[in-house]
Structure 1
Amino acid sequence: MSTRTTRDTPPTEVTAPTAAPAAGPAAGLDARLVVDRGGFRLDLRLAAAPGEVLALLGPNGAGKTTALRALAGLTPLTAGALRLDGRELEDPERRLRTPPEARPVGVVFQDYLLFPHLTALDNVAFGPRCHGVPKAEARAQAADWLARMGLAGHAGAKPRRLSGGQAQRVALARALATRPRLLLLDEPLAALDARTRLDVRAGLRRHLAGFEAVAVLVTHDPLDAMVLADRLVVIEDGRIVQEGTPADISRRPRTDYIASLVGLNLYQGHADGHTVRLDGTTTITTTENLTGPVFVAFPPAAVTLHRDRPDSSARNLWRASVTGLESHGDQIRVALTGDLPLLADLTTLAVADLDLHPGSTVWATLKATQTHAYPA
């Protein structure tokens, strides 16, 4: 079946006014987003309940922004469907497509895109005015939203007079002023410096906690996702590779990308009791008693390095060679290859005492109690 639009059968443009929340099981987001763009295909199934914050996480080129644009109506679906609070917004098979301006959707863009010639108050009032709210009432609503954001004293300021954190809050107020049933946030903290980011992240979490509808956050920053979202959807190459709560994703990564994101060493092998056999003859001893295909994960901080073969009670011992060292927070992350490629986190003093440098030969130990094995 072809979904291509022909000139004599254009897609139906449906105007869907912002309405009160739907009641019952249909409330929330229910979407299958399929977008074909050249050699890239996005195919995601997303569902979220009112009040839930969903984070789309993934490497560059995974399809996060394409998904956000599809939800906003800025990129048409090739196939699939999009429903919000039980209302169909898009269905290519039926040639149904609600234009972006008619969707009950608010967007906070990465660069905020505030109107430079308008004050903060008029930026926020813009949305209600576009929905037919009289000017005085729209400005009153905007003043209320700015007060909620702690920006009452900046109502008359234009964007160039605002700090990055203040501009982010104005953009959020502008998105919320139309009372959307779906709030989209595209890397909302990316433009902020590290110190401002910490404060704004905490404030954004408070605002999202009070948001009654669905929020979808796109980010490449795992900390933003962990702090702001109730559930994570990890995307690679246009597909969902893992989905779950931040705690579950952090504890049970299923791809190398996710393991790197949450800072774990990850391996896949075959378990026979407490022993997991990897490729070749390398094994890892774990505390879990499992059988069959499994993942094994452990943090780099759990790895101990020695220049000479140790007389250790650790159940796991491998010979390795240092391939690189780099600062990682207040520690040094050591990359190793050999019996088992792995990462180890050491203090600066430990690196100096061991005289580590690329090419150094070491022994790596790991206690079984520091590992976590789970079915693949």
Structure 2
Amino acid sequence: MTDIAASRTAPEAFAPGFKSGFKSGFALRDAVVRELEERWPAGRAGLDEVCRHSLLPVGKLLRPSLLLASTRAVGGDPLRALPAAVAAEFGHVGSLIHDDIIDEDTVRRGRPAAHHRYGTGEAIVAGDLLLFSLFESLTHCRDLGVPADRVVTAVGAIARAGMDLCRGQSLEARLAGQRVFDVDPYLEMVRLKTAALFRAACEVGGILGGGDPAELAALVAYANHLGVAFQVHDDLLPYTSDPDCTGKAPTSDIRNGRPVLPVVLAHRDADAPTRRAIEDCLTEPEEPAGALAALTAILRASGAIEESFALADRHAKAAVDALEALSPGEGRDQLADFVTRALAVAPTP
């Protein structure tokens, strides 16, 4: 990352022109992208090339956006938290690199996954590098005027989220390996794995912005519900959306025998022959695309897709309701808007 301490003495220098363009959110997004470009410039080889390939072009930048909106929602200056927003993207993408290796997925964001293009060993180390870069980037918030004790507290929040992420990944593997078709363990896995980085983004943003305990609790509750709703929608994509629009392999869950929520719900309510058919689809199918088509037909007939969307909608509403504990303002409005944007999934008829 650019040497903020040496070259920037005021937060405005981190994002020139920001104050005139924040209402749309584009100025801060552009600042995050600019920092990623500067930290991982084109033309470098080795790990820098792997990291740039994984980071750029950027995805939705949802976690950086959540962090900055959370800072603003508690009355803080988002510019001073900008290095933490960049750090959030490092952590997210680092975890995706490792996820793709575990799942043996070859596509990410519509292009070859890092391990598929550069080899597994190089990808593992690149993911590690991004995770360490997260902490290095976060420390630059102090250079922009954030009190050191807030930065230290934010480090603790990120570390706890990282530990939850690891536990969630392990739980997911156990649920898949043991063919556990149960809603409660699935939701626990999602809270640990997916919601962890949402929670870290919102909590860190609130901490750096000086939020009080009640405000931080509201942000954590919001993030936990948003994380569940987001993951349920993501789980539904292979069964409801055009695979060319998702940017990743639609057969990943099938190949990895993963009982995602709609599959769990269909299995719970099915008769014995249909249960066996569901289990067969998840048991190392020779033709994953065929298994996906067969499982999609079962899910659509069972009503599990609609039930899954309904559960996601309940969590989305709970996320917005949690924001009522925050003071009215643009930051709170942005967080509410993120719920709609993050869950903008149009199911296929």
The answer to whether TM tops 0.5 is no
**What TM-score comes out, normalization by structure 2 length?**
0.27
Q: Which has the higher strand share?
A: 1
